Structure 1
Amino acid sequence: MNRLVLGIDAGNHRAKVVGPFGVDTFKTNICDWFERDVEERFGSDDMEFEINGRKGFAGSIAEYEDEFGNGTMYGDSKAHEDTKIRVLLAIHRYLAKYCPHFDRIAIVTGQPIKRHKHTEKEEIKRMLEGIHEYTVNGKTHSIIIEGIGVAPEGSGAFWSSPSTGTIRILDIGSGTVNAATIIDKHHVNNASTTFNFGVETVNNKNDISTIARGVIRNTTKLKWNKNDTVLICGGISEAIAPYIIEHYPNAKIMEPELSRGNGITKLHPVFANAVGFYELAKGAYG
């Protein structure tokens, strides 16, 4: 193996990374660099970085130290510089954790369904492809990203545990909700979209029943049937599932499966997109 293949879900709240050696996750908060009088440690994912001339902090430290909010850029598109930083930091952490000898990388990452357009996918590929030199926590690295796929979020999660028939997927994230319809392993556009709200962007993020009602109301506009098979993924899956099941009785929480060696590991549903992206990456670049 001379090239590392990864699936990277560069979420607004946490990044999830899946590859041949295991998984990783970290907070994706980012803030600008400043000189610290007291160098406090906030979490194991604290990172001080310099990427393409931009200096900053990422991880738990950025959640606390950002003067303009919580250090996260929300929205229904990933075609922006913060995504580039998140992806490069995700690769850096995976290499440091599992396989520091790799320098050639191929990835599949995600874009919300609603903005999964050719121009935006090409923008994501353009900003990620090629040679990257960057410094994280005082150490400089150089990698080559030589293969990039951009999959629709939600639909990508399907490949973490594929099946036949009509499958609806609710990918409930911090900034968006992706509602995907897969029929016989094909994405159906007119029954899929992205809702531009998420767990961290509603007025009361602790009122899970209200979030669930918002999700359900919007899926009825897509003409989903109450008896459809609905798979739920995202970090809030366990908490929100009972409320989704009240309307969709056949809904259940996704169980993404990561094949490693001779075994299969079941992961938390928050990893569904990343596992699906990894499966797609193996097919394209493995």
Structure 2
Amino acid sequence: MSKLILGIDAGNHTAKVAGPYGMDSYRTAICDWFERDIVESHGADDMEFEIDGRRGYAGTIAVYEDEFGGTGMYGDTKAHEDTKIRVLLAIYRYGQKYGIDISEVAVVTGQPIVSHKPAEKTAISEMLTGTHSLTVNGYETAITITDVGIAAEGAGAFWAAPAGGTIRVIDVGSGTVNAASIVDKRYINNASDTFNFGMETVNNKNDLAAVARAIARNTSRLKWHRNDRVLLCGGIAADLYPHIQTHYGAAELMHPVLQEGNHVTVAEPVFANAIGFYKLARMSFA
């Protein structure tokens, strides 16, 4: 087939993918390989892999079998090998789900706003570009990534449902929260930032009111105003939404739209970055 174009949000908790055939997601936990005495299925996304010489398990199985209890690399940058594993497995799964033979692919993926700098973007691009050898659940293949774009998380989500005027985007992830400001479709650096906490790193994941207060405190330092139009996305967005509304009365849940031909899909807020990245990838690589 011709070159496939994808938007891939390679999150610490879940990878989200958007492309011409639809969407996909999987749990991005990764652990080192070991010999299993009992082969048990933990989830539909269980994967035993070998990628460019690294062996391990990914998906739900890694959540349960990770010896060191981390299941992923957290932090304010995606310039590390776990990102490569997540992206390649996301591409592989997309081909399997939609029954397509992937030989060449162009991708846009994300980087937290605070680390969206030339050196970091170059590191990710160089890590992903080229031909990679994969064995996943015994199936051998190769994927060639021809083009790589790096978008800022949160700001990239804006392009899933672009609008004029002043737009604030709160993208709540597992390891970070990205706060992006867009004015007349232009990204504003001085009113955007990454906060180094997320739903997997806060002490009490159930205290969403406290998470909302922390987001409000940090965004107020960026001179966001209480009546600003704020769009909320991420896996926890629907549950966090009423708490964010107490600080930003005009807050809305993002409803990203994926359209291919006459087929239109209105997706959950968790897919906002992936769909925004896909739209950016089409503008860049189609």
Q: Provide the residue aligned with 1:128 in structure 2.
A: 128
Report the more deviating stretch, 265-274 or 97-106: 97-106
- 1:99: Cα distance to partner? 3.8
Residues 1:114 and 1:180: Cα distance change in structure 2 (over 3 Å) = same
Task: Decide whether the 8 Å contact of 1:62 with 1:70 is kept in 2.
Answer: no
Distance 2:260 2:78 in 1: 29
Q: Deviations over 1:54-108 (max 9, x none)?
A: 1000000000000111411110000000000000000000011114322110000
SS of the residue corresponding to residue 211 of structure 1 reads helix
Percent same amino acid among aligned pairs?
Answer: 60
Q: Provide the residue aligned with 1:184 in structure 2.
A: 184
5 Å-filtered alignment, 1:33-112, equals 33-112=33-112
Corresponding residue pairs, total: 286
Task: Decide whether the 8 Å contact of 1:64 with 1:70 is kept in 2.
Answer: no
Q: Provide the residue aligned with 2:16 in structure 1.
A: 16
Task: Decide whether the 8 Å contact of 1:255 with 1:266 is kept in 2.
Answer: yes
Distance 2:47 2:138 in 1: 10
Q: Deviations over 1:259-282 (max 9, x none)?
A: 022132100000000000000000
Q: Provide the residue aligned with 1:214 in structure 2.
A: 214
Cα-Cα RMSD: 0.8
Task: Decide whether the 8 Å contact of 1:31 with 1:58 is kept in 2.
Answer: yes
Q: Provide the residue aligned with 1:2 in structure 2.
A: 2
Large movers: runs of 4+ above 4 Å? none
Task: Decide whether the 8 Å contact of 1:258 with 1:266 is kept in 2.
Answer: yes
Task: Decide whether the 8 Å contact of 1:50 with 1:136 is kept in 2.
Answer: yes
Query: When the two structures are superposed, what TM-score results if normalisation uses the length of structure 1?
Result: 0.99
- Does structure 1 residue 113 correspond to structure 2 residue 113? yes
- 1:53: Cα distance to partner? 1.1
Q: Deviations over 1:29-48 (max 9, x none)?
A: 00000000000100000000
Q: Provide the residue aligned with 1:252 in structure 2.
A: 252
Amino acid at match of 2:280: L
Task: Decide whether the 8 Å contact of 1:231 with 1:252 is kept in 2.
Answer: yes
- 1:6: Cα distance to partner? 0.1
Amino acid at match of 2:192: S
Task: Decide whether the 8 Å contact of 1:31 with 1:57 is kept in 2.
Answer: yes
Report the more deviating stretch, 276-285 or 95-104: 95-104
- Mind listing any 5+ residue stretches in structure 2 that lack a counterpart? none
- 1:126: Cα distance to partner? 0.4
Q: Provide the residue aligned with 1:232 in structure 2.
A: 232
- Mind listing any 5+ residue stretches in structure 1 that lack a counterpart? none
Q: Provide the residue aligned with 2:170 in structure 1.
A: 170
Distance 1:30 1:108 in 2: 22
Distance 1:167 1:75 in 2: 26
Distance 1:49 1:220 in 2: 44
- 1:195: Cα distance to partner? 0.1
Distance 2:202 2:51 in 1: 32
- 1:247: Cα distance to partner? 1.0
Distance 1:199 1:104 in 2: 34
Distance 2:271 2:258 in 1: 10
SS of the residue corresponding to residue 122 of structure 2 reads helix
Distance 2:30 2:115 in 1: 23
Distance 2:179 2:95 in 1: 32
Q: Deviations over 1:93-129 (max 9, x none)?
A: 0011114322110000000000000000000000000
Report the more deviating stretch, 75-84 or 207-216: 207-216
Query: When the two structures are superposed, what TM-score results if normalisation uses the length of structure 2?
Result: 0.99
Distance 1:67 1:206 in 2: 26
Q: Provide the residue aligned with 2:270 in structure 1.
A: 270
Distance 1:187 1:67 in 2: 41
Q: Provide the residue aligned with 2:282 in structure 1.
A: 282
Report the more deviating stretch, 96-105 or 79-88: 96-105
- 1:206: Cα distance to partner? 1.1
